[in-house]
């Protein structure tokens, strides 16, 4: 024979047992959130990382033919003020002669061709070249104003880049990447 129902069970009102279940569940949820928060919080970028996600570089003292290397996101970035001769030499190269026909410029569409203008700071600022200075073969740091094409040369495995940072000879599969950047004034470049 079954036990008779109490008044509160029959009427659908909460019992003490229901209250204990709800209280225990809420306490467990708060405890789990308090336990998990340090693990979730540690996944956010450190303040020092956020501080270097964007940098500004004053290039007023970089004369034509000179280069400057800065550190951005833990990688070297080559900034070069090219001479008119270097620009003309780079413009004369046909896209069909390039090992990698894509510009690899984060400021342009991913399918943009590796023309000299597409690899530079753009119309009116073709003399400025900004690129991440890491060889696309195995991540070495190329030497500037070196190699068969007067641009960059990676002595580790023999990759030669031209004065636009395009791979021309050697095992590297891609052109040196161009990061997101913009001129905030005539002499200041913001990278990132």
Q: Which residues pair with 80 in a beta bridge?
A: 67, 129
CA dist 59 and 67 (Å) reads 10
Assigned token pair, 113: 């061709």
**Marked catalytic residue, from 7, 137, 157, 160:** 157
Torsion of CA 75, 51, 69, 134, to 10 degrees: 10
Question: How many CB atoms neighbour CB 128 within 10 A?
Answer: 18
CB environment 153-186: b (16+ within 10 A), e (fewer): bbeeeebbbbbbbbbbebebeebbbbbebebeee
CA dist 85 and 127 (Å) reads 10
Question: Is 7 labeled as catalytic in the residue annotation?
Answer: no
Q: What angle do CA 189, 101, 179 make, to 5 degrees?
A: 20
CA dist 88 and 117 (Å) reads 11
CA dist 176 and 69 (Å) reads 14
Active site residues: 157
């Amino acid at each position: 024979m079954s036990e008779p129902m109490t008044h509160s069970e029959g009427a659908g009102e909460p019992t003490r047992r229901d209250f204990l279940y709800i209280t225990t569940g809420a306490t467990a949820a708060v405890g789990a959130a308090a336990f998990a928060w340090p693990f979730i919080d540690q996944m956010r970028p450190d303040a020092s990382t956020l501080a270097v996600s964007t940098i500004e570089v004053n290039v007023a003292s970089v004369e034509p033919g000179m280069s400057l290397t800065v550190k951005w996101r833990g990688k070297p970035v080559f900034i070069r003020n090219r001479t008119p001769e270097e620009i003309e030499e780079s413009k004369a190269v046909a896209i069909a002669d390039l090992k990698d026909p894509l510009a690899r410029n984060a400021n342009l569409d991913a399918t943009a061709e590796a023309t000299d203008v597409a690899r530079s700071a753009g119309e009116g600022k073709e003399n400025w070249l900004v690129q991440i200075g890491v060889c696309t073969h195995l991540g070495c740091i190329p030497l500037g104003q070196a190699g068969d094409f007067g641009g960059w040369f990676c002595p580790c495995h023999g990759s030669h880049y031209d004065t636009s940072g395009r791979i021309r000879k050697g095992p590297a599969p891609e052109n040196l990447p161009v990061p997101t950047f913009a001129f905030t004034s005539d002499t200041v470049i913001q990278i990132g």
